[in-house]
Structure 1
């Protein structure tokens, strides 16, 4: 007897995701000690965690200051955070600061700042893009994304997230040295991270590419060359590819008297040129 079948086509795509002395030597100093804000009587400083802790957990940091014209370093504070505002400084005086990491073996070698003149100042907002590999963010549909970019400027710039010139709601957290943007369920498109302070405006363009399941193949599903044990099926690619190249189609079949579908074939597509 002849069995009649119903056929359907599915498609998939890929989504491309020591002893004491040894302890002291191993405790590396910080990459940078930078001023994040300067006023006529204060300097705000920030630094990064050492890459190596010398084999012992870090217990904190020691910050010291040196006024121009003296060889003496004055203790400012001991703290656990990686930022601090030094207050009650003399206007128009020049200071140099240094920070040391501390563990149970002692202190690291110091990292010094450049000499800083204490006065009100304004500098253009800037993005430090040396550690930013690319300006394209890829995420799966429904996922949150995080954009983390070092920012600079005095006073500290205000940060907004825009698309087509309109500000968007976001979870924005500013540290002393970074803008951290957490965004939920974005559409694909071109966005802008905008910095503003009295010195001016700086814009960093970011392209967001959201990957989703592809749409269904474009029909109708054409059946030709019908024979006792075979037939030929043809369809067109979907209008929506989900943001990635279609990699294969899954062909399923079922008898008209059954509700169960079985895989008849898995068809690899040709690589996109």
Structure 2
């Protein structure tokens, strides 16, 4: 009988036993398996993805199980500036685990050891990693511009950030405040904004407002961008009807409910009928808006609103059409023609009548 008093898993293997006496020599091979705690996990520890708060650690099973199957694993972490290890997972049954409660921008080392009935095995350590996001906060979007206003609403637009920080922009935060106030109020508390255009309702007529926008991705958001100009509010549309006599036309009745006439993978075709009442003037065009499911914000499906100015002459029988982007006020000149000046430019000698639909943008400050 041979007794090895001190041994560990490294003594596992094939031994050759040789017996010798006066009659000769006898040799036999013996497989010896030392019962012990597991050896280190195979290969290296992989850490991905890493954020400023958590990371996912994964590994492979040990090559040596110590003569008994591995039942679970222990995962630990240590800041490189400290010596003590902190247990992050005491009984992980799989080959990966999520380690949380990391401190932003701190450097960590992780280690994993298998456990069988003989105890915890030899640990395998990872390379140092820094707890920070693979992406950064996006750059500020462009300063918002007021492109259209109404009695109780305003439409603002802004440019996308130059950089999304490596993560998709998932929301825009829009704030507003009155000129006499120092406190900003969040506009979209209860809904998400994906577009770079927003209609802001419930404004007070005659008040001056300022707006600002911040972009949000998975890393968070920076301070809002440069605010819009303070004094822009408000504009007002005036509607007139001319036949060399001055009268005010009414707004048209609503058209019929749109119906779907055709659909493709990337588009949808709609049709509707004219309003029953045109308000005393020909309908100049239509504005189509759409609402995304499970949201409350309407978006304009097209960018152009059309002003149609037409006149007819008994001698020329001529029609002229003038198209302007009425809603993009940032592109219009700051000085607007009065209605009378528009009329004078359209009139030519002869007996004619003039009809003006959606005329004269008048600035009220």
- TM-score category (smaller protein): 0.3 to 0.5
Q: Which has the higher contact order (CA 8 A, sep 6+)?
A: 1
Tell me the TM-score normalized by structure 2. Answer: 0.27
Higher share of residues assigned strand? 1
Tell me the TM-score normalized by structure 1. Answer: 0.36
